[in-house]
Chain A
Amino acid sequence: MRQVEGWRRPLGLAGVVALAGLGVFAVLALGAALGLWAAGFEGAVAREHLSPGPGAWLGTDALGRDLLARTIQGARVSLAVGGGAALGLVAIGGVLGAFAGLRGGWIDRLLAGLCDALAAIPPVVTLLGAALLLRPGLATAIAAIALTQWHGVFRSVRAEAQRMRSADHDRAARAMGAGTWHRIRWHLLPRLRPLLVTSLVLCFVYAVKVEAVLAYFGASAQTLPSWGRLLAETGSELARGIWWPTAAASVPLALLVLCAQVLADRLGEGEPRG
């Protein structure tokens, strides 16, 4: 019951602020996707390397493009990869973990082995390799993260499912002939909900950070500007005193991750973490 209470507990001031911050990012990205604002991110609006001021609030980049528009468009990429990959990760890891934990036997052993094998390869190798094998892009980044990085969720869900197997209510359900899917839906899922919500947010954080690294190496979205690519393009200009492109990319990236991280902390407080 303790976990259910934890789920109902209010988020606190920090949690609410973090949630609102995420909401602002979501609105910015949605509006940019619908073309409401930040539409002119591709053409030059002023001379190159214009410092922040009226006209171009965040200045312009090396090609004279408006950095404010490019930064807002970048939110689209980060949120799409973060959200999509987090949903995929939790779905794949959750279903496989629940199945392995509840079934046991050779399925469990096979899936656990697969999970160990995937976890042994450094994520960057898998993800850059995926960008080479498929075409680099937004969908590739989401699919590659979701399909290869589910081992963390898998392990925690599997452990919880194994714990449930020895519980009385599950033994009763099995005795009444409940199938694995029924047990997952009606017994395991309610029990796992707080864990899944927290790991959804944590996976979001992970995916956003990974996307920044991928974009830095040009293996993420190709047409849309993204914060990681902006950092790659502008990191070397810092030494020449042109600080605003780097700031325009790194401040929103850090803020987005910070909001999600604080939210995950508030959601996961008091839970045993492994």
Chain B
Amino acid sequence: MWIRRLLVAAATLALVSALVFLVVDALADRAALDLGRGASPEALAARRHLLGLDRPIVTRLFEHVASAMSFELGESARLGVPVVTLLRRAAGPTLAYALPGFLLATIVALLAGVAAARRRGLVDRVLLVVSTLLMSCSSVIVVVLGQYLLAHRMRWFPVLGWPLAGDPRPLLGFVLLPALLWALIQLGPDLRHYRAIFVRELAAPHVEGLRARGLGERRVVLRVLRGAAAPVLARVSARLPQLVLGSVVVEHVFNIPGLGALLVAAVRDADLAVVQGVAFCLAAATIAGQALCDLAVYLLDPRTRAPAEAGR
């Protein structure tokens, strides 16, 4: 079963790279992008030959997918650096704020979701209004206003910036506000989603059974939390594409040299190899993360194991 899951993941990733290649090849002329608008037809043809663009598309497709699957993503046209190096350099700063932000949002949303589902009343109403308001604010608004209020006005955090190598200032101060805002952006929809999950789980007959046997509320909630592992992890794995990229807006406003900033710069410079590389690597990270979530559900929830052992 696990071999099958891995094969599906690899096939999906190959499909991603083929899709990206075909779309880019159909819509963009690499030679024209490299040489600029005023290039002569002869120069364009020579450039195409140099890049190997005059070979049949099927050959190039297979070559591209094969090299992408071994993570050879080519070189950045503007910087002359391998794309993999750029990605590795940018992944650190993104994870430094995106991962804490994601964990914070998930934990707060889970706790608030349980609270709202258990006390259907004022708490539930207030949390619903808060989450709806948070959802209505576009991430741009949250980031711009958050930076203004918390950094400019209150002066609790540095306004922007990122310590480069050799900078004595601690990283923590620069990470806190981006992580907080990133958590705030995700909190609204997550809260509602988890509330819906826990309302459903708490209404399940076995919860009544646990209570009838005299189990304390605290332990009932713990059981419910474990029972809800599958839908919660499904939500996490649906969130993964956003987690691995972080927020382009946060990185832009706070000047963080992460993946989002890399992407925005590559789009501005028309650096196709980097854009393709970002798309492919983030898809790879997402697909790997989804496989891990499946594994975690398999380990946490015995219900998913039973039919597999009996049937397949």
Contact = CB atoms under 8 A, between A and B. Distances in A.
B248 A124 contact: yes
B89 to A, nearest CB: 18
Interface residues of B, number: 49
Given A128-B263, A132-B267, A257-B135, A121 B241 contact: yes
A55 interface: no
A128 B141 contact: no
Interface in A215-239: 216-217, 219, 228, 231-232, 235, 238-239
A117 B16 contact: yes
B137 to A, nearest CB: 5
Contact of B132 (A114, A128, A209, A262): A262
B283 A120 contact: yes
Given A133-B24, A231-B144, A213 B260 contact: no
B186 interface: no
Nearest to B128: A265
B137 A254 contact: yes
A117 B133 CA distance: 32
B252 A122 contact: no
B138 A253 contact: yes
Interface stretch (B70-78, B107-115, B274-282): B274-282
**Looking at chain A, what size class is its interface with the partner chain?**
35 or more
A130 B65 CA distance: 20
Given A132-B275, A228-B140, A250-B145, A238 B152 contact: yes
Contact of A120 (B138, B252, B272, B286): B286
Interface in B1-16: 11-13, 15-16
B104 interface: no
B199 to A, nearest CB: 11
B270 to A, nearest CB: 6
Nearest to B271: A132
A253 B141 contact: yes
Contacts of B16: 117, 120-121
14 contacts: A114-B19, A120-B12, A120-B241, A121-B279, A125-B279, A125-B282, A129-B267, A129-B275, A205-B135, A209-B139, A239-B148, A254-B137, A258-B133, A265-B132
Given A128-B275, A228-B140, 6 more contacts: A122-B286, A131-B267, A132-B275, A209-B139, A238-B152, A254-B138
